[in-house]
Amino acid sequence: MLNTHVAEEGGFSLARFPAIQAWLTRVQAQPRHISIVDIVSLT
């Protein structure tokens, strides 16, 4: 499984996938959005 929002950290560039980048931006802009990074830091 690839967590696309942290893909760069794993050496996977999303530069060739502008639609995915745009989708991630829209998801992150949603009210009450909590990123997986925030969830992991709570545990």
User: For the segment 13-32, what is each residue's pLDDT rounded down to a tens digit?
Assistant: 888 989 988 888 898 899 98
Residue 35 has pLDDT above 90, yes or no: no
For the chain, give every domain's residue range.
Answer: 4-42
CB-CB contact of 22 with 28 (8 Å): no
More confident call, 3 vs 32: 32
Contacts of residue 27, Cβ cutoff 8 Å, sequence gap at least 6: 33
Q: What is the pTM of this model?
A: 0.63
How much is the pLDDT for 43? 63
Buried b (16+ CB within 10 A) or exposed e, 2-41: eeebebeeeeeeeeeeeeeeeeeeeeeeeeeeeeeeeeee
